[in-house]
Structure 1
Amino acid sequence: MSEEQPVAPVVSLRERVKSPPAPAMVESYFGPAVAAGIRFQFEPEMRIHMAHAVMLAECGIVGKVDIARILAVLADLQATGVKALTIDYQQEDLYSYIERHIVETLGPETGGRLHTGRSRNDLHTTSWRLVLRGLLLDLLDVVGTIRRTLIDMAQQHVETVMPGYTHSQHAQPISFGYYLLAAADLMERDYGRLSHALACCDRSPLGSGALSTTGFPIDREMTARLLGFSRLVEVGYDGVSIRDDLQEAAGALAVLMTGISRVATDIQTWNTMEFGMLELDDAYSSVSSIMPQKKNPQAMEHVKAVAAMAVGALNMVLAAAKNTALADVNDGVTAGNVPMLDVLERACRALTVFEGAIRTLTVKPDTMRHLAETGFGTATELADIIVREAGMSFRMAHNIVGRVVREAIEAHHTAMDITSADLDAASQALFGHPLGIPVEEVRKALDPAENLKSRTVTGGPAPVRMAEMLDRRRAMLDSDLAGMADIRRRIAEANHTLMEQARRIMDDAGLQTPSQIVRENHGTS
């Protein structure tokens, strides 16, 4: 009879409970949680494991030979990917399978040392912050590109006259460039909100432990540097219990997408046959299956749909945390991650569509100008001329022009048909005397382009003001983009340093290749 082989020591993360998870728990919770971990957390977790391992070695908490062997397995797993893991959905997160893989490869005496001085609580909040940070940086890149496109197009259309609207009615003449500059300024403020959300997210909770840090002499600042964080979430309880980083990102995204959806609504409206001021490029349009004449503004509708998802994600993130204990709880700390990150990814893609659709618009200046000339949007300037030329109060001038406009509409005339004599007649009827406004002054007041030139007040659409504002916006955008490039550089340099330190520890232990540790553990050459 052959000698029995010794049973390899086994460690478990379910030792506190006797039974496996119920099938309903696996289907509703464990399975989706592991799938989300595979989708979002694998790469961030690998960096966290390496950073924590390097720190344990450098602080002398775990021997460098053991850490070198752990790092080698991590490097091998990182190169192979999730397919190296055996996932049976009996554990609730990706980390459990990564730790099991390490322990099965190295044995519990060595493999079980990686988790020294940390908890899944701080591991998870750190990994979710890394994912959120990366997606916020991607989103900021797209918003920066939109700002550039809006500024460039505003430059091209400084003198493209169009009607300005309030309450969906003709209000005053503006230029299409002026409209685009307003949208660019909104995007600038969105950029600021997202940047602040990024700063809130860009803090390391690693080392918080379950909630009160740890008795081991870990170096939290070191792991923060190795992961490229700008600073710590200093209080351990805060680090694992509060997700205002996710909430602030959700709020900034919802505000951004709400503003974008309003612009998309205008573009969709002005793209109609009734307005005819713009036309979406074919690449951002769709067709009807039955009506051959249709060219649908699919890009704008898609953007507005994703905006609705962003608003919904904000509601979900806040509602999940509302009325939960200020502590580590799944609903308040974890539940909002996947919906929010999913919407962030969707928003990045949808905003890329939005930018392309705006950049490739066909603008129709003649139609825009015609609508601006005929829609009585110059009435305010006409009243201003009366104030300046006749010395009347604005309210009296407002009465005169209101009467003239009403009579013109009733006679089926346009704004360009109004004459100095019409003003005299209205003034005589209302106040007992004519005005005597020169014909040329009335003509200028009714010319939308002249209206623009007269708006030289700070923030007005006059071309001279537009040139100044556009120059300042370009400089501000360049500064903002340079700041984001610095953050990306810091993260890339931290990742490089992490890999170099891990490689040095492995080299010092004589592990020339990641797979060597696997061969050593199994006794093969």
Structure 2
Amino acid sequence: MAQDQAAPPVVSLRERVKSPPAETMVESYYAPAVAAGIRFQFEPEVKIHLAHALMLAERKIVDRSDVAQIVATLMALRQTGVSALTIDYRQEDLYSYIERFLVERLGPATGGRLHTGRSRNDMHTTSWRLALRARILDLMNTVLRLRSTLLAHAETHIDTVMPGYTHTQHAQPISFGYYLLSAADLVERDFRRLAGALSCCDRSPLGSGALSTTGFPIDRDMTSRLLGFAGLVEVGYDGVAIRDDVHETIAAVAILMTGISRVATDLQSWNTMEYGFIELDDAYSSVSSIMPQKKNPQALEHVKAVAAIAIGALNTVLACSKNTALADVNDGVSAPNVPALEAIERVIRSLLVFDGALSSLKVHADVMRRSAEVGFGTATELADIIVRETGMSFRMAHNVVGRVVRETIEAGRIATDITTADLDAASQALFGHALGISDGSVRTALDPAENLKTRTVTGGPAPERMLDMLARRRARLEHDTEETDQVLRRIADADAQLEAQARQLIADMGLPVQPQIAR
């Protein structure tokens, strides 16, 4: 065959082996891996290819004219999308098809230069970090929104008196706002855990190579900046072998959803006819196919189910890495990615449901207050008044009130039925003397709203204290929102710089930006 009629040279990633992958390998591993790459890695990979190519040109590792052709082809591929690739699922990852695409269009002498000074190991950990970082930021913004909702409703319900519970029994009066404030603080700490996970994730492994960097004079700081990272995973071995970024993230997500599930459990109970404290909006409820009276708290049940999925994802991710070599291995480094990202996406959606359910919640304040009045949650304040007005020790006062509560329940009465005479009789029987507390003092002690007003110490539910705590938490929310926005602006600026440098290189080489690729 004449030289000008020869078939173009073919490059392959399977030269080391003679046979194609087994069908079982394709079905169980290759096809799912490529599908996951299409779903999660296409945009991150194209960014990485562009950043790496620009760095190769800047460092004069690859001729600028070759890099310009590669960059123009990559930008055309990005515009068209994955549909431009011919995927037969006989290669094990998305990168293989992108490289084949470049070689088919530019030839192996040009298209085959992109991978200079790089491994799939560092490229893959970088693309998964980019995908993870984007979802962490989405989740952080969702958590910020939920914090805002909780704080707004906490302020609305500062004076909405309800029973506080311990061991599912009436404990002391609180306000619904105080309960929501405690939930807001929990979610704020969840935000801090996610911010810590973001800090771990927001480091570029690109340039780590297979595990020991490369002999080419690459500029890792340049690619890190172009990809919008805050810095580097400095040690190459660390960059390709250790996935504590995904471990830390999914752990924070599981902790977040565990707390949310506990709040949802309370709300689900309080939504019942037996409590009647709250009513879930119709938009977040479902009905029965047979029982026409049913209005089921579907949103809360859904959130609790997603919490279980998040906890399961944490177990999956840690189990994938447990007992694997501290090196680049598929089970320890690659396998955790999809279950983690899928769990985060489900969590984000479920938190938006939870936020909507909270925002539209109907609160029956009168029912809450009545339950606080009759349920003996004011007994502690009654004992405290005895201590303050008579000088009796708290333990003795506790004995007196405990006896009165027992006798009141046995007589079929409620907390507000307790009188000064009841206290005097119990004290006389126990300690040989009456107390002589005024009826007004007893009524004040038995009033749940008055109970709240006395809790003015740091962290208490007194309305004045609540307003102070809410103000400080709103300030922290504003600060956290601004810091998250700064990270998003940094990434957006890096994207713009990457785009500008790519277009400039193409223009400098006199090449047009290739149009969308026809299929």
- Listed one character per residue, the Cα deviations across residues 128-186 of structure 1 (whole Å, up to 9, x for unaligned) are 00000000000001000000000000000000000000000000000000000000000
- Any residues of structure 2 matched to 1:491-506 within 5 Å, and which? 491-506=491-506
SS of aligned partner of 1:170: strand
1:412 aligns with 2:449: no
SS of aligned partner of 1:15: coil
Alpha-carbon shift at residue 2 of structure 1 (Å): 10
1:74 aligns with 2:74: yes
Give, as a single letter, the amino acid of the residue that structure 2 aligns with 1:432: G
Alpha-carbon shift at residue 3 of structure 1 (Å): 9.4
Separation (CA, whole Å) in 1 of partners of 2:2 and 2:485: 65
Separation (CA, whole Å) in 2 of partners of 1:285 and 1:509: 61
- Listed one character per residue, the Cα deviations across residues 229-287 of structure 1 (whole Å, up to 9, x for unaligned) are 00000000000000000000011000000000000000100000000000000000000
- Listed one character per residue, the Cα deviations across residues 92-140 of structure 1 (whole Å, up to 9, x for unaligned) are 0000000000011100000000000000000000000000000000000
Alpha-carbon shift at residue 5 of structure 1 (Å): 2.1
SS of aligned partner of 1:409: helix
- Listed one character per residue, the Cα deviations across residues 287-330 of structure 1 (whole Å, up to 9, x for unaligned) are 00010000000000000000001101111111111111000000
Partner of 2:391: 391
1:259 aligns with 2:259: yes
SS of aligned partner of 2:188: helix
1:470 aligns with 2:433: no
SS of aligned partner of 2:62: coil
Partner of 2:276: 276
Give, as a single letter, the amino acid of the residue that structure 2 aligns with 1:366: D
Partner of 2:30: 30
Partner of 1:234: 234
Give, as a single letter, the amino acid of the residue that structure 1 aligns with 2:32: P
Separation (CA, whole Å) in 2 of partners of 1:395 and 1:334: 60
Contact 1:73–1:515 (Cα < 8 Å) also in 2: no
- Any residues of structure 2 matched to 1:60-139 within 5 Å, and which? 60-139=60-139
- Listed one character per residue, the Cα deviations across residues 335-388 of structure 1 (whole Å, up to 9, x for unaligned) are 110001000000000000000001100000000000000000000000000000
Separation (CA, whole Å) in 1 of partners of 2:508 and 2:456: 70
Partner of 2:39: 39
SS of aligned partner of 2:5: coil
Separation (CA, whole Å) in 1 of partners of 2:515 and 2:10: 22
SS of aligned partner of 1:514: coil
Question: What count of residue pairs does the alignment treat as equivalent?
Answer: 518
Partner of 2:59: 59
Alpha-carbon shift at residue 4 of structure 1 (Å): 7.8
Contact 1:271–1:280 (Cα < 8 Å) also in 2: yes
- Listed one character per residue, the Cα deviations across residues 467-503 of structure 1 (whole Å, up to 9, x for unaligned) are 0000000000000000000000000000000000000
Give, as a single letter, the amino acid of the residue that structure 2 aligns with 1:435: L
Give, as a single letter, the amino acid of the residue that structure 2 aligns with 1:440: G
CA change 1:3–1:323 in 2 (3 A) is closer
- Listed one character per residue, the Cα deviations across residues 392-433 of structure 1 (whole Å, up to 9, x for unaligned) are 100000000000000000011000000011000000000000
- Listed one character per residue, the Cα deviations across residues 54-109 of structure 1 (whole Å, up to 9, x for unaligned) are 00001110011000000011000000000000001110000000000001110000
Alpha-carbon shift at residue 515 of structure 1 (Å): 3.9
- Any residues of structure 2 matched to 1:285-304 within 5 Å, and which? 285-304=285-304
Partner of 1:523: none
Separation (CA, whole Å) in 2 of partners of 1:288 and 1:174: 34
TM-score (norm 1): 0.98
TM-score (norm 2): 0.99
Contact 2:36–2:338 (Cα < 8 Å) also in 1: yes
Separation (CA, whole Å) in 2 of partners of 1:292 and 1:183: 34
Contact 2:503–2:513 (Cα < 8 Å) also in 1: no
Separation (CA, whole Å) in 2 of partners of 1:437 and 1:480: 51
Contact 1:133–1:202 (Cα < 8 Å) also in 2: yes
Partner of 1:201: 201
Give, as a single letter, the amino acid of the residue that structure 1 aligns with 2:220: R
Contact 1:72–1:515 (Cα < 8 Å) also in 2: no
CA change 1:196–1:424 in 2 (3 A) is same
Separation (CA, whole Å) in 2 of partners of 1:25 and 1:381: 69
Separation (CA, whole Å) in 2 of partners of 1:53 and 1:96: 17
Contact 1:280–1:362 (Cα < 8 Å) also in 2: yes
Unaligned runs of 5+ in 1: 520-525
- Any residues of structure 2 matched to 1:78-477 within 5 Å, and which? 78-477=78-477
Separation (CA, whole Å) in 2 of partners of 1:237 and 1:54: 24
Report % sequence identity.
71
Alpha-carbon shift at residue 513 of structure 1 (Å): 2.3
Separation (CA, whole Å) in 1 of partners of 2:453 and 2:431: 31
Unaligned runs of 5+ in 2: none
SS of aligned partner of 2:165: strand
Give, as a single letter, the amino acid of the residue that structure 1 aligns with 2:197: A
